[in-house]
Every structure is written in C-alpha cells, then in structure tokens.
Amino acid sequence: MRKILITNDDGINADGIVRLAKAATEFGEVWVVAPDSQRSAMSHSVTLRHSVEAWKVDFPVPEVHAYACDGQPADCVRIGVLNIVPGKPDHVFSGINYGYNTATDLQYSATAGAAFEAAFQRIHTIAFSEDASKNHEVTDRYLKEIMAELLCKPLAINQIWNVNFPGCRLAECKGILRDRVVSTDNFYTDRYIETKVSEGRISYMVEGIRNYNALDGTDLKAILDNYVSVGIATNIS
C-alpha cells in the first residue's frame, strides 16, 4: 500500500487538511505532519538555529497517523520524510489551502513551499488550494477525481502538481483545465497602510487589492473563469 504524507500551512486543525486526509485514505496509508498553528506565507523557510518538536495528536479521520509540529510547513515535510513516516512516503499532499495559490502568490505560499521541499526530497507531490470561502462544492466534486489522476502522472525533479479549485457554486463551474502555467501576473496589488505608533515609530499593515485580469492559459485565468486549474509548477530547473 502506498504511503501518503500530508501537511499544510493553515495548521493541523484546519478544515482543509481534514478533508484532504479523508479523501486520501481511499488511495493509501495516510500520515499527517502539520504545523500546530497558522503558518501562511512562510514560503519554503526551514528552522536551522533551534530544534523543532513534533507530537502525536488525535485526528478526526480514522486510521490516520497524525503529528503536530511547532516548525514551518517545510520542516513538517522534512521530519515527516526523514524521521516519522516508516521507510519513506510515496507521495506528499499539501493543503487544502484556504485561499488560492496561483500567479506570483505561489512564491509566498508555504503550501507550495512544503510541496517543493517534498520535491527536493524526490517525492511525487501535489499541492491543493481553494477559494478562501466556506463554499467547497467544486472541491468536493473534483478532489478525488484529480487525486486519482495525478497520483499516476510522473513529474520531473523539483516539479509539483498545483491544483486550485474555484469558489463558485458547482453549477457555475465549467470543468477542469489542465496544463495551466503559473501566471506572471500579481494575484494582489499590494500597498501598506501607515499608522504612527509613537514618535519616530510607524507600523505598516499590508493591504492587497485583488487582480481580476490574467493571460489565457494560466492558473489565474482558469480560476477567474470558474475552472479547476491543474498544472505543473517548477522551483529550480
């Protein structure tokens, strides 16, 4: 039986990782090593100057081996692959992220960062993301279908499958677009709101303005048009 290691950046108690683990149990023996709390936008950072801890936790999906970790998502992959999962996992799943991981946002994403770490470890990897909403109709409809398809599709070194589910109603979803390339457009146009804290000290809070324009053939264009986006992302060629 194949072994599947699952992580995320929203934390081990997030709804998305529970749903992903539940679906994955139909395809193999599932191990979860995930952050103990929110770690979004940590990209591919790892812990070097101090130790990280992991501990076994109860998990709401039967027969899943689950561990929380106080490190980053990439740390979770590293200790999961190198220490926790007996032997070595055959696949790594990262997600389901609360919010899309497309376009330039992929660079900041710890969901993608964890997936790329697994690729560095020469493990077949899929990153899953969805709209930051409570509507999961499209994800629930297509998750297992895409999982079954991509588990059998090989990747080159340092590549991952990147899957994004639109947040529209299922009746509005137009299907799946495969072979989407990562958009070079900004997912958000950022600016910083300045607030004076004290004399000579200013706080800066990022505020993102969504971009609703993208080139044809890209991951961002697919989700904007209510398609499921499936494509390959490459870290280092």
The answer, yes or no, to whether residue 226 has pLDDT greater than 90, is yes
Number of H helices, E strands in the chain: 5, 11
**Cis-peptide into 96, omega within 30 deg:** yes
Cα separation values, 203 from 40, 196, 199, 206, 207, Å: 20, 6, 12, 10, 13
Share of the chain above pLDDT 70, in %: 99
- How do 188-198 and 201-210 pair as beta strands? antiparallel
pLDDT of residue 87: 93
Task: State pLDDT tens for residues 41-52.
Answer: 888 989 999 999
pLDDT in tens, 140-173: 999 999 999 999 999 999 999 999 999 999 999 9
Strand pairing category for 54-56 and 65-69: antiparallel
Task: Collect all residues with Cβ–Cβ distance below 8 Å to 209 and sequence separation of at least 6.
Answer: 188, 189, 190, 191
pLDDT above 80 (res 79): yes
Give the per-residue pLDDT at 149. Answer: 98
Model pTM score: 0.94
Q: Rounded mean pLDDT of 74-87? A: 97
**Beta strand ranges found along 50-103 (DSSP E):** 54-56, 65-69, 91-98
pLDDT at residue 104 above 90?
no
In the prediction, which pLDDT does 237 show? 54
The strand pairing partners of 98, in sequence order, are: 130
Q: Which residue has the tokens 């106080």?
A: 70
Q: Which CATH class is domain 3-181+216-234?
A: alpha beta
